[in-house]
């Protein structure tokens, strides 16, 4: 029961961070701010939801798979943010050089 | 608990759809790719919850595929656009 | 509210239709591609809700890994390699030769006819029949595998699957006929972070692709899903220029393209020659044959999809200007 409650709190706060990420995507003024909002929000959101679901999971194998999924999403998301930020900066520089 | 999780996936999906406004009205193409990236992560979250709700472990495989391949499209974009080609 | 899925399903269905419409309606081709990628994400979720994890897996692998990259590459090709879309109209769909209205109307009429046919078929189908679930479940012991979807795809309806593999083969043959040439562009620098990411994720992608193929016999997974996931490895290698196709590689590539179709057809002929109907595998060898076909088809699908992304036959063409093309 307490485990369920804890899981519910974790999952709900995870969903909250996803909503916060979307608000950031819509409201922040430029790409770099949005990048900042998104990477924090969706990384944390997914981590919280994954943690909550691990508490509900039936077997150790399931928990391990959830952790692996979270790990690769976090890895890909960090890499993608880096790629997009570096690319955007290159584009901006070329624009100011012209 | 199931009702609660049902509300959660609804919120996650709604947050994806709200973010679509950014895709439709972007200042620059990077914004669009970034938004698509966020939606990928949200879809993984939805899949994780659904695998619990529908009691289908196979959905974890779908989520794993999403997680591993999420970066491919973005890398393709950065490579193609990197030489001012897109 | 008793069904916890109701709101989610309604929102998902509405969103998919809206996304499909806006993908077609939006003027900016790049936005259209991004919308299509998101459309793929949501349709994978829809397949999940329809309790079809096999299709969801295929949609996830092809939609996120391959389709987006292929479409981006196509846009790039139209704008900068063939120059079909002028540069100054790069954000709008302004082809040099607009499609004549008669062709547009003819297309619309044909699409309308197809939709009408689908509607008639749907309305004419038995409303709440048992479907084929029972038939498949009854025949499952004779199929050699334990997963109904794999049994249907590679045993009961193997002919359809063979044709799907042939479609991919035909596509890559067509692409190699149309586009030729070597790439002269320098290797892109995706940076150290990307290198680290590739080192961690490429082995994981290979493992997951092989796992999906292997698991197909008893759970959702199989040749198409595994092949599409493995194709992503090819895409990464091509994108980061770790692998550059050379004219001398063409023979091996051709073998890889036809491997799946060839093995599939050969097994069918072999079975048919033993006095059976094609694809009516002898039960004691069914699992071996299905795994053999699936394994070879996986290789073919992975190599073919990667070759489609590369988009041209690597032949040295004399007097060709250097192309700055990935």
CA C94 and chain centroid, separation? 28
Using a CB-CB distance cutoff of 8 angstroms, which residues of chain B are in contact with residue C44?
43, 62, 66
**Both C178 and C258 in a single domain?**
yes
Q: Is the pLDDT of residue C91 over 60?
A: no
Q: Look up the domain containing A12 and give its range.
A: 2-97
Query: DSSP letters along C116-160, please?
Result: HHHHHHHHHS-SS--TTHHHHHHHGGGTS-S-HHHHIIIIITHHH
Distance CA C205, CA C15 (A): 30
Confidence tier at C185 by pLDDT (50, 70, 90): low
Total domains in chain C come to 2
d(CA A2, nearest CA chain C) in Å: 22
Confidence tier at C321 by pLDDT (50, 70, 90): low
ipTM of the complex as predicted: 0.93
Q: How many residues does chain B have?
A: 86
CA nearest neighbour of C83 among C321, C316, C300: C321
**Both C79 and C181 in a single domain?**
no
Rounded to the nearest 10 degrees, the angle between the axes of helix A60-97 and helix C191-215 is 140
Distance CA C78, CA C113 (A): 31
Mean pLDDT, chain B, as a whole number? Answer: 87
Beta bridge partners of C313: C180
Whether the Cβ atoms of residue C83 and residue C76 lie closer than 8 Å to each other: no
pTM: 0.87
Three-state DSSP class for C180? strand
Whether the Cβ atoms of residue C203 and residue C36 lie closer than 8 Å to each other: no
- CA dihedral over C146, C152, C155, C161, signed as positive or negative: negative
Q: Does C121 fall in a domain?
A: no
Enumerate residues 62 to 81 of chain B having a beta carbon within 8 A of any beta carbon in chain C: 62, 64-66, 68-73, 75-80
Q: Is the pLDDT of residue A40 over 90?
A: no
CA C291 and chain centroid, separation? 20
What mean pLDDT comes out for the span C135-159?
Answer: 79
Total domains in chain A come to 1
Three-state DSSP class for C313? strand
**Both C167 and C308 in a single domain?**
yes
d(CA B45, nearest CA chain A) in Å: 6
Whether the Cβ atoms of residue A43 and residue A55 lie closer than 8 Å to each other: no
Rounded to the nearest 10 degrees, the angle between the axes of helix C29-49 and helix B2-24 is 170
**Both C323 and C177 in a single domain?**
yes
**Both C138 and C84 in a single domain?**
no
Strands (E), chain B: none
Distance CA A30, CA A93 (A): 16
- What is the maximum span of chain B, computed from C-alpha positions, in angstroms? 51
Q: Does C168 fall in a domain?
A: yes
pLDDT of residue C89: 45
Using a CB-CB distance cutoff of 8 angstroms, which residues of chain C are in contact with residue B2?
4
**Any chain A CB within 8 A of the CB of C194?**
yes
pLDDT in tens, C228-276: 999 999 988 888 878 888 888 889 999 999 998 999 888 888 888 877 7
Whether the Cβ atoms of residue C286 and residue C145 lie closer than 8 Å to each other: yes
**Both C184 and C249 in a single domain?**
yes
Q: Look up the domain containing C43 and give its range.
A: 1-98
**Both C165 and C286 in a single domain?**
yes
**Any chain B CB within 8 A of the CB of A69?**
yes
pLDDT of residue C90: 46
DSSP state of C241: T
Confidence tier at C142 by pLDDT (50, 70, 90): confident
Whether the Cβ atoms of residue C204 and residue B71 lie closer than 8 Å to each other: no
Rounded to the nearest 10 degrees, the angle between the axes of helix C158-178 and helix C286-310 is 20
Using a CB-CB distance cutoff of 8 angstroms, which residues of chain A are in contact with residue C60?
none
Inter-chain contact A77–B63, Cβ cutoff 8 Å?
no
């Amino acid at each position: 029961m307490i485990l369920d409650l804890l899981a519910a709190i974790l999952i709900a706060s995870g969903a909250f961070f996803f909503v916060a990420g979307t608000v950031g995507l819509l409201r922040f003024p430029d790409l770099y701010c949005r990048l900042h909002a998104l990477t924090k929000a969706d990384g944390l959101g997914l981590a919280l939801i994954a943690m909550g679901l691990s508490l509900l999971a039936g077997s150790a194998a399931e928990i391990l798979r959830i952790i692996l999924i979270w790990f690769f999403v976090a890895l890909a998301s960090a890499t993608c943010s880096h790629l997009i930020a570096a690319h955007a900066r290159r584009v901006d520089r070329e624009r100011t050089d012209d | 608990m199931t009702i609660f999780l049902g509300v959660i996936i609804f919120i996650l999906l709604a947050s994806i759809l709200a973010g679509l406004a950014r895709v439709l009205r972007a200042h620059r193409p990077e914004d669009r790719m970034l938004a698509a990236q966020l939606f990928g992560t949200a879809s993984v979250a939805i899949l994780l919850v659904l695998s619990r709700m529908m009691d289908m472990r196979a959905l974890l495989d779908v989520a794993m595929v999403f997680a591993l391949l999420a970066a491919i499209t973005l890398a393709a974009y950065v490579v193609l656009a990197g030489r001012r080609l897109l | 509210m008793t069904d916890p899925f109701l709101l989610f399903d309604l929102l998902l269905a509405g969103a998919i239709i809206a996304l499909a419409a806006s993908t077609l309606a939006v003027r900016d081709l790049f936005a259209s591609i991004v919308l299509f990628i998101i459309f793929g994400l949501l349709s994978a979720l829809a397949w999940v809700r329809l309790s079809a994890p096999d299709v969801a897996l295929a949609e996830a692998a092809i939609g996120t890994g391959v389709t987006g990259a292929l479409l981006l590459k196509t846009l790039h090709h139209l704008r900068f390699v063939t120059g079909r879309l002028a540069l100054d109209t790069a954000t709008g769909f302004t082809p040099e030769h607009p499609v004549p209205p008669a062709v547009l109307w003819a297309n619309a009429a044909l699409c309308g006819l197809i939709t009408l046919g689908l509607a008639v078929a749907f309305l004419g189908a038995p409303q709440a029949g048992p479907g084929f679930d029972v038939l498949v479940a009854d025949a499952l012991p004779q199929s050699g595998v334990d997963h109904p979807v794999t049994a249907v795809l590679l045993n009961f309806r193997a002919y359809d699957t063979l044709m799907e593999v042939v479609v991919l083969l035909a596509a890559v043959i067509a692409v190699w006929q149309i586009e030729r040439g070597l790439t002269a562009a320098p290797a892109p620098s995706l940076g150290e972070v990307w290198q680290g990411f590739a080192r961690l994720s490429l082995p994981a992608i290979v493992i997951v692709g092989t796992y999906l193929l292997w698991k197909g016999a008893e759970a959702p997974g199989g040749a198409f899903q595994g092949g599409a996931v493995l194709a992503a490895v090819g895409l990464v290698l091509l994108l980061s220029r770790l692998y550059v196709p050379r004219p001398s590689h063409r023979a091996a590539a051709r073998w890889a393209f036809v491997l799946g179709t060839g093995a599939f057809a050969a097994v069918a002929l072999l079975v048919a020659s033993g006095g059976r109907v094609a694809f009516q595998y002898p039960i004691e060898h069914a699992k071996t044959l299905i795994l053999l076909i699936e394994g070879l088809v996986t290789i073919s699908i992975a190599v073919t999809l990667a070759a489609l992304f590369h988009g041209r036959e690597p032949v040295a063409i004399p007097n060709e200007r250097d192309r700055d093309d990935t």
